[in-house]
Structure 1
Amino acid sequence: MNSVLRELVELGGGLVTLGAARQVVPSWTLESACRNGELVRVLPEVFVAAHLVGGRPGAPALSRLDPVLGHRAALAWAGGRAALSHLSALSAWGLRPPAVGDLVHLSTPTSANLRTRPGVVVYRRRGLLIAPPHVVVRQGLTVTCLEQALVDSWPALPPAERRAPVIRAVNDWLTTPERLRVALGSAPRLTDRAAFRKLLTRLADGCRSPLEIWGHENVFTGPGMPAFRRQMPV
């Protein structure tokens, strides 16, 4: 590989865009690196060092990257017109472990000319701005706000796994039941919305784990039970 191009790829953590490469080397240099198997095109105008592309043969190149690199590649392709959202945003917020092979989820304003591609799912959202408070930068990645990410991800997770990220986000003081309730209000047709609303009620009551929720609903309830002051500091 051309030494200048190699240095640019290394500075990008294994990733380079066509626009950045053209500023320092001719286009044929990039094309030659791809022909020689030194770079792999993972998205239009986005290239990654070949040794970083692993995973399952036959899968989209983007899905064969380390998840964090895949997120960076998708955002580089979006060029400031989208943010990580849904399950990808949960991973960026540290609430869901990413895995090689995961799809990258991006949300974009309706005016942006981005479409779903192999390895990337694009959601067009009316009223979304790629600016605070709609999005934030977390660990160098542009992501949707936490409350929106939790609401968006609710139907995408298996029913048994839906509550854990919400409970952890509240326990870690990343958000509050009240802020999540506001975000839920913007999704009137959300799958299993009643269960989400009930979970927020339990968290507002002071429950902080599935066991406490179970106890609230099945033990400390019923006729004759006194009014409790819950989560009393001792």
Structure 2
Amino acid sequence: MRESIDHLLRTGGGVAAREQCLQVVSRCAFDDEVRRGHLVAIFPRAYARPWDVDQVDVRRRAALVSVGGEAALSHLTGLGMWELPAPAPAPLHVTAYNPRHPRGVPGELVVHRTLLPLDARTIDGLAVVRPEVAAVMSWPLLCGSDQRAPLLEGNRRRLLSPARAAALAEKMVYLKGIKQLRELLGLLLAGCESELELWGYTDVFNVPGLDDAQRQTVLRVGNRNYRIDVGYEAEKLAVELDGRAYHASPQQWERDIARDLALATIGWQTVRLSHHRLTHDVEGCRRDVLAVRAARRLLAS
């Protein structure tokens, strides 16, 4: 009897539905296993051996088994599966289309219904919603920079498409904070890739004389492409927003110097603004860039 259940659990990644167990053992034998504590219900109808119930992957599988039907890990759980920033610990989230058992468990399992067939992907043998869906649907569950982090990280890693996320957000009329989400996606589509670039776009370069910049312009030097944060093509002026995370090491300084020299060979001057200046001296940053633009125009005349 136990061998039959063990085989079933092995083939199911440590989890088996109650109805599956009853196909290999009698109801009396199954109830005896549960009564003795040899089988434990992680979630309704989803059983595992007691020594496996705290394993993260087993609990994820149990969530899908418990909900049944066409279901996929979603929301914050989906973000975690795509290795995107998500708070932990958190209840497991499952989105289900035509679920058989759409009942959650308070504090442990949240079940979301959808009227549309799921467009899921498989990660480690588990169905997971697309990263755009996980990020958009997680928006009202987070706040502040935690809301933006999954979209920024997914965009930076080219894991998700801002255009696809924006198309999904257009349908989410009643999603809490939808206006702010759409504004963020608009900035991502404009080329912003970090919190610092968002700050520059919305709070530094959003004034007359600076708001005509091109975002994330790609310049080719020889056989290499260089992407610049903020570009003014008429003056051939590149403004780089140097965040602490990516420009702090000596190796990165050397790469920045080599990059600036390469751009200089095609006539582009680079101005670098530090994280500290951008966040503590906005007016000074504006004055400096405006002054350099004016000087470049004067030299070109």
TM-score (norm 1): 0.81
Alpha-carbon deviations, 1:148-178, whole Å to 9, x = none?
Answer: 2221110011333100001111111122221
Alpha-carbon deviations, 1:91-143, whole Å to 9, x = none?
Answer: 2222145745x3222222367552333422222222x214xxx3232322122
Q: Does 1:205 align with 2:196?
A: no
Q: Secondary structure at the match of 2:93?
A: strand
For residue 144 of structure 1, the aligned residue among 114, 123, 129 is 129
**1:50 aligned partner:** 50
Q: What one-letter code is carried by the residue in structure 2 that aligns with 1:87? A: L
The more displaced of 102-111 and 65-74 is: 102-111
Q: Does 1:168 align with 2:153?
A: yes
- Percent of aligned pairs with the same amino acid: 33
For the 8 Å contact 1:92–1:141, the answer to whether it is kept is: no
**2:60 aligned partner:** 71
Alpha-carbon deviations, 1:31-63, whole Å to 9, x = none?
Answer: 22222222211233321111123xxxxxxxxxx
Q: What is the CA distance between 1:206 and its match in structure 2?
A: 1.3
Q: Does 1:94 align with 2:79?
A: no
Distance 1:35 1:92 in 2: 34
Q: Does 1:3 align with 2:6?
A: no
Distance 2:45 2:101 in 1: 15
**Quick one: structure 1 residues 111 and 78, their matched pair in 2 at CA, closer, same or farther if it must change by over 3 Å?**
closer
Where do 5+ consecutive residues of structure 1 fail to align? 54-64
Relative to total residues, which structure has the larger strand share, 1 or 2?
2
Q: What is the CA distance between 1:11 and its match in structure 2?
A: 3.8
Q: What one-letter code is carried by the residue in structure 2 that aligns with 1:5? A: I
Query: What is the aligned residue count?
Result: 218
TM-score (norm 2): 0.65
Q: Secondary structure at the match of 2:214?
A: coil
**2:16 aligned partner:** 16
**Quick one: structure 1 residues 199 and 109, their matched pair in 2 at CA, closer, same or farther if it must change by over 3 Å?**
same
Distance 2:145 2:194 in 1: 14
Q: Secondary structure at the match of 1:82?
A: strand
What's the C-alpha RMSD, in Å, of the aligned pairs? 2.4
The more displaced of 41-50 and 12-21 is: 12-21
Q: What one-letter code is carried by the residue in structure 2 that aligns with 1:41? A: A
Structure (1 or 2) with the larger CA radius of gyration: 2
Q: What is the CA distance between 1:79 and its match in structure 2?
A: 2.6
Q: Greater relative contact order (Cα 8 A, min sep 6): structure 1 or 2?
A: 1
Q: What is the CA distance between 1:220 and its match in structure 2?
A: 2.7
**1:122 aligned partner:** 111
Distance 1:26 1:155 in 2: 45
Alpha-carbon deviations, 1:48-91, whole Å to 9, x = none?
Answer: 111123xxxxxxxxxxx333222200111223332222212222
**2:284 aligned partner:** none
Distance 1:11 1:125 in 2: 29
